[in-house]
Amino acid sequence: MLKNKIIRVLNNKTNKTPPVWLMRQAGRYLKEYRDVREKAGGFLDLCYNPELAKEVTLQPIRRFDFDAAILFADILLLPQALGRNLWFESGEGPRLNPILGRKDIDNLQNNDVMNKFLANIYETVRMVRSELSQEKALIGFAGAPWTVATYMIAGRGGDDQKAAKVYMTRNPEDFGVLIDKITLATIEYLSQQIKAGADVVKIFDSWAGALGGTYFRKYVYEPIKHISQELKKRHPEAKVIAFPRGCGANYKSFCELDFVDCIALDSTVPPPWIKKEVQKTKPIQGNLDPIHLVTGGDEMLRQIDYIKENFVNGPYIFNLGHGITPDADPKNVDILLKRLSQ
């Protein structure tokens, strides 16, 4: 039997106890992470320091013995490598100089420049893989083109993605060129992560739920299809997880993607529906609301049991519906892991 439990599930096999890793498992909820971040000097300094980025990537494995490590990085490193200015405002999050027109899109850098800029990220992957047990999967990642485009156009994150939607509808040709450029850059970025040692890559479309109808198909579904298809051509052995967060019934459409090995779920989709409409076709991952790692208690245990009850008889990786928040209690992670093993 394959010892790497994550890869086993991604091969459409079922484990008696589901393997587990958690989005943002390396983060501010851990004191050891905060200590390393302080040493690095800032978030971006930490991302681009392979030795320190390796350390925070491995911290959750040492502490919780998760079944996978995920590269410590950020989805906005890609637009930065393409030539956009990126910085972090204290207490407010990331900022980019916004795309204002076609000239900004045409001036985005090529893959050679991007790869030189991201060389330290690839080095982090190599270093983590060299220290990580072969029984543990190493997951690389990137933001999906639609989500990355929303940041590049607005210059910051947001909940309604109005700036990107306005640009998309007023300048459809230019927006299409931007999506295409991000898509090609993402293929190269993830391909380099796989070459450096990633077993799995995950495509995060955090704002997929902001689009519907033909827009969803054109700017969420099709770019992820293109990325996954090209990655499988280059690296047939690599595994691909897609995470179109918040897309509701559109999760079912991702079952059509032959080159996507697993569909990650947010916390809003009901497990019985997912079991019936998605898991029968594809391995799945996720669904627990991250708030339970903050609040804990009996309700967290009930929700863990409910998810297990629905998913454990099929190919499933236990995870959250979004990332761990800084106010999560590490003790609740210990309780979660104990509950899963029972």
Instruction: Write the pLDDT tens digit of every residue in 74-83.
Output: 999 999 999 9
pLDDT score, position 145: 98
Q: Is 233 exposed, middle or buried (0-12, 13-18, 19+ CB in 10 A)?
A: exposed
Q: Which residues contact 111 (CB under 8 A, 6 or more apart)?
A: 184, 185, 188
The confidence band for 158, taking pLDDT boundaries of 50, 70 and 90, is confident
User: Which H helix or E strand runs over 265?
Assistant: strand 262-265
Asked if residue 151 has pLDDT above 90, the reply is yes
In order of 63, 124, 283, the CA distances from 31 in angstroms are: 11, 21, 33
CATH of the domain at 166: 3.20.20.210
pLDDT score, position 92: 80
Rounded mean pLDDT of 309-318? 97
Could you give the 3-state DSSP secondary structure of residue 222? Answer: helix
Structural domain total, the chain: 1
Range of the domain at 137: 5-341
Could you give the 3-state DSSP secondary structure of residue 4? Answer: coil
Longest CA–CA separation in the chain, Å: 57
pLDDT digits (tens, 9 = 90+) for 229-282: 999 999 999 999 999 999 999 999 999 999 999 999 999 999 999 999 999 999
pLDDT score, position 1: 53
The confidence band for 100, taking pLDDT boundaries of 50, 70 and 90, is very high
User: Which H helix or E strand runs over 204?
Assistant: strand 200-205
Pairing outcome for strands 93-96 and 137-143: unpaired
Catalytic sites, residue numbers = 24, 28, 37, 74, 151
Asked if residue 2 has pLDDT above 90, the reply is no
Q: What token pair was written down for 29?
A: 């909820």
